[in-house]
Structure 1
Amino acid sequence: MQIKVQPMGVYQTNCYIVTKDGKDIIIDPGVNATEWVKQNITNPIAILNTHGHFDHVWSNAELQKDLGVKLYTPKEDAMLLSSSSWMPDLPPSTPDVLVEDDEEFDIDGIKVKFRHFPGHTPGCSTIEIGDAMFSGDFIFEKSIGRTDFPYSNPEDMKKSLEKFQKLDFDKTIYPGHGGTTTIKQEQQYAPYWIKQL
């Protein structure tokens, strides 16, 4: 499995392309991601969103149209794709698949597991493919997603961190901003963040 990453836009939001068995999955195509994505794929099969914030979904619609592949978005965040209180000029997009909490998919032979960790947004999720976990804005290296935005919920984030602490496996985490970390490493910091919330 190969993972390419490119930070996009003012917020340097990581857009990922996961290539496995000659097939490409695009994760969180943010601001002006279309050109980079198209230059780095050969056989796209899906677009996945970790959550609905504008800096992670900006290029959804353009890529749906240009690539002719399905868009998977956590169902609780679908409403964020059509309007943004911060970014009124957000290009609206419509998911082809509304992802249920903790739903698993077989996308053209590739296993994809969404794991629901609300708090930053109602639908905030991580996405597991192979030995990688794409954490969006739930978990970063030594940090967590903000809970002071519209639709954020500190109590939900606490419960999500408690759920995260119970994961009994390790994977490399590829967050929505910044560099990689691991599940085991960030589990050490979870108690600290739970106390802060």
Structure 2
Amino acid sequence: MQIKVQPMGVYQTNCYIASLDGKDFIIDPGVNATSWVEQNVTNPVAILNTHGHFDHVWSNAELQKKLNIPLYTPKDDVMLLKESSWMPDLPPSTPDFEVKPDEEFNFDGVKVKFHHFPGHCPGCSMIEIGDAMFSGDFIFERSIGRTDFPYSSPQDMKDSLERFKKLDFDKTLYPGHGGTTTIKQEQQYSDYWIGNL
């Protein structure tokens, strides 16, 4: 699998293009992501949101229209695509698929699974494609997503971290901000974060 990444906007939100078996998946197209995506895809098949915060979904609608491909967003975050208390000028978008917790999709042999880990926001998910896990704002390198935003829940984050630390496999994590890490690497910090929430 080939993975391209470009930090977008003031918050340097990672937009990813994951290419596997000739299919390009666009993950979290943030502010002004459209031109970069257009220049770096050959066969785009879907736009995938790890969650609904504005800096991860800003270019959803524009790319849906320009590339004529479906948008997949965790259903518990769909309400965040219409308005943002932080960014009133957020371009609204409407998902073609409202993803249920832990739902899996098959794109002609390429499996894409949304692992639901709420806390940062209600729909917050990690997206598994091949040997990669796109962790959005749930897990970063030696850090976790904030839980002091509207719709955040420290208790949900604790519960999610308890489940995360029990994952019995390892994959490279590609977070919504910053550099890559691994599941095993970040599991060792889970108890620390749980104790500090």
Normalised TM-score (structure 2): 0.99
Unaligned runs of 5+ in 1: none
For residues 36 and 109 of structure 1, the distance between their equivalents in structure 2, rounded to whole angstroms, comes to: 27
Query: Which range moves more in the overlay, 101-110 or 165-174?
Result: 101-110
- Describe the SS at the equivalent of 2:85: coil
User: How is 1:78-97 mapped onto 2 (pairs within 5 angstroms)?
Assistant: 78-97=78-97
Q: Which one-letter code corresponds to 1:27 in the other structure?
A: I
Q: Which one-letter code corresponds to 1:117 in the other structure?
A: F
For residues 140 and 107 of structure 1, the distance between their equivalents in structure 2, rounded to whole angstroms, comes to: 27
Aligned equivalent of 1:27: 27
Report deviation, 1:107. 1.9
For residues 60 and 183 of structure 2, the distance between their equivalents in structure 1, rounded to whole angstroms, comes to: 28
Aligned equivalent of 2:4: 4
Unaligned runs of 5+ in 2: none
2:185 is the alignment partner of 1:185: yes
User: Quick one: percent identity of the two aligned structures?
Assistant: 81
2:122 is the alignment partner of 1:137: no
Deviating beyond 3 angstroms after TM superposition, the runs of 4 or more aligned structure 1 residues are: none
**Kept after mapping to 2: 8 A contact 1:45/1:108:** no
Report deviation, 1:22. 1.3
Q: Which one-letter code corresponds to 1:112 in the other structure?
A: V
Query: Which range moves more in the overlay, 6-15 or 99-108?
Result: 99-108
User: How is 1:18-167 mapped onto 2 (pairs within 5 angstroms)?
Assistant: 18-167=18-167
Query: Which range moves more in the overlay, 17-26 or 47-56?
Result: 17-26
- Give per-residue Cα distances to partners, 1:81-105, cap 9 Å, x unaligned: 0000000000000000000000110
Q: Which one-letter code corresponds to 1:54 in the other structure?
A: F
Q: Which one-letter code corresponds to 1:30 in the other structure?
A: G
Aligned equivalent of 1:196: 196
Query: Which range moves more in the overlay, 161-170 or 106-115?
Result: 106-115
- Describe the SS at the equivalent of 1:4: strand
- Describe the SS at the equivalent of 2:149: coil
For residues 190 and 151 of structure 1, the distance between their equivalents in structure 2, rounded to whole angstroms, comes to: 22
Report deviation, 1:11. 0.2
